Amino acid sequence: MFKPLAFILRRIVVRGSLTFITSDGLRHSFGNGEGRPVVARFADKRVERQLALDAQLVVGEAYMQGRLVMVEGTIYDLLAVVLQNMMERPLPRWSHSLDLARYMTRRLAQFNPARRARSNVSHHYDIDGTIYDLFLDSDRQYSCAYFSDKRMDLEEAQVAKKRHLAAKLAVRDGHRVLDIGSGWGGLGLYLARTAGCSVDGVTLSVEQLKLAQERADRQGLQHAVQFHLQDYRHIEGQYDRIVSVGMFEHVGVNHYATFFRKARELLAEDGVALVHFIGRSDQPTITNPFIAKYIFPGGYIPALSEVLPAIERSGLIATDVEVLRLHYAETLRHWRERFLTHWDEAKAIRGEEFCRMWEFYLAGSECAFRFQNLVVFQIQLTRRVDALPWVRDYVPQAERELAAAERTGSQRESPRLAGE
């Protein structure tokens, strides 16, 4: 084995049972041998050198291209062994030179004017939508579910997520709502159907827009919910409520001030906004290079310290910040297991290399939420300090009312806020 790679693995992998088989058939084992064995094989010598130089990019590329082959266990098992060990024993400092270079150029990589933003979104979302049906829930919720009960299945947890968001928005019958990054329309349709809202949803994906409009027509909600192919920077009007779920990760660190200034401009004086996004619990860093190259070009997962200053400068008030920790790890576990179950169908649509790429994306993301520093932030915002009740007990009360409306298929009775 290439000596620098062996040195790194010996330094990191102290617990567990991890073995690599080189292209000449030699076995190299790391860890203390406990737990289920994980064995992988290198198809050529070159991949060993590339891994030592840039593991964050190359491990995913090598697996996707069939140059890193799992012999025992899955790619998730391999990543789990390495990342669990790295919680206590990080990579040596000399291995971070590429990360430093990427950090220095991250603003260029995340420069997302409207045309580039649309291209980036199209890369991920404007593919054969059947792929998403293979692993998402029936509503195509492509963001962190909310496991208010650990016994929930994915369908239940995604409904609970929509209910939780609606409750924190304090939506009422007749409210005009803007959904920035409306996806396939599930949240907007929920707010119209269950809470009686009028919703404008915007997306940059042609395929998402098409399906969202079809769903609104099928459900008879085409007059209550309107979906548009539009960049958030070009929206005009005034809204009682603004919600953005899983879109902020695509904004780019250069554009945070623009995003929140636009949100304040669009939000009514007594309005409420809620931004739900993946974040990191430590300091600012870079986008994982595999994710940036193959999955979400132009994307970035921010630290809270990068987001709150932009909110402060916009004039909005952060009235609540909730941190969802292992909820996304469980969501990704469900997605990964569903995708593996439907591997042959995905392979027939996009081919074997795509399937390995997608499996690595889901496995790596799940591991990042379990063993690294990724979380989900929900930041509630207002223009006025008295726009919401003083305490948060209105949230569980609204969730109960919304759950009852879901069961009966009727709109819930509009709640009364403090002072009414």
Q: Give yes or no: residues 180 and 64 share one domain.
A: no
Q: Give yes or no: residues 155 and 301 share one domain.
A: yes
Q: Give yes or no: residues 16 and 58 share one domain.
A: yes
What is the pLDDT, as a whole number, of residue 418? 42
Using CA atoms, how far residue 288 sits from 60, 70, 98, 294, 327, in Å, is 11, 22, 11, 10, 21
Written as tens digits, the pLDDT of the chain (420 aa) is 899 999 999 999 999 999 999 999 999 999 999 999 999 999 999 999 999 999 999 999 999 999 999 999 999 999 999 999 998 877 766 666 777 778 788 888 888 888 888 898 888 988 888 999 999 999 999 999 999 999 999 999 999 999 999 999 999 999 999 999 999 999 999 999 999 999 999 999 999 999 999 999 999 999 999 999 999 999 999 999 999 999 999 999 999 999 999 999 999 999 999 999 999 999 999 889 999 999 999 999 999 999 999 999 999 999 999 999 999 999 999 999 999 999 999 999 999 999 999 999 999 999 999 999 999 999 999 999 999 999 999 999 999 999 999 988 765 555 555 444
Q: Give yes or no: residues 81 and 134 share one domain.
A: no
What is the pLDDT, as a whole number, of residue 155? 98
- The pTM assigned to this predicted structure is 0.93
What's the domain count of the chain?
2
Domain containing 250: what range? 113-408
Q: Give yes or no: residues 95 and 129 share one domain.
A: no
Residue 57 in any domain: the answer is yes
Question: Is residue 57 within 8 Å of 293, Cβ to Cβ?
Answer: yes
Q: Which DSSP helix (H) or strand (E) runs through 370?
A: helix 352-371
User: CA dihedral in degrees (152, 158, 164, 170; nearest 10)?
Assistant: -150
Question: Is residue 244 within 8 Å of 272, Cβ to Cβ?
Answer: no
**For residues 177 and 192, what is the distance between their CA atoms, to the nearest angstrom?**
9
Q: Give yes or no: residues 132 and 235 share one domain.
A: yes
Residue 29 in any domain: the answer is yes
What is the pLDDT, as a whole number, of residue 414? 52
Q: Which DSSP helix (H) or strand (E) runs through 71?
A: strand 68-72
What is the pLDDT, as a whole number, of residue 411? 59
Q: Which of 104, 130, 162 is the C-terminal boundary of a domain?
A: 104
The CATH number given to whatever domain includes residue 51 is 3.30.1050
What is the pLDDT, as a whole number, of residue 21? 98
Q: Give yes or no: residues 156 and 100 share one domain.
A: no
Q: Which of 104, 134, 151 is the C-terminal boundary of a domain?
A: 104
**For residues 124 and 51, what is the distance between their CA atoms, to the nearest angstrom?**
26
What is the pLDDT, as a whole number, of residue 91? 72
Q: Which DSSP helix (H) or strand (E) runs through 275?
A: strand 267-280
The string of DSSP letters for 74-127 reads: -HHHHHHHHHHHHTTSPPPGGGGHHHHHHHHTHHHHT---HHHHHHHHHHHHSS
Q: Give yes or no: residues 91 and 185 share one domain.
A: no
**For residues 248 and 262, what is the distance between their CA atoms, to the nearest angstrom?**
13
State in Å, rounded, how far the first CA of the chain is from the last one. Answer: 72
Show the DSSP H helices in 296-342 as ranges.
Answer: 304-314, 327-341
Beta bridge partners of 382: 272, 317
Q: Give yes or no: residues 66 and 123 share one domain.
A: no
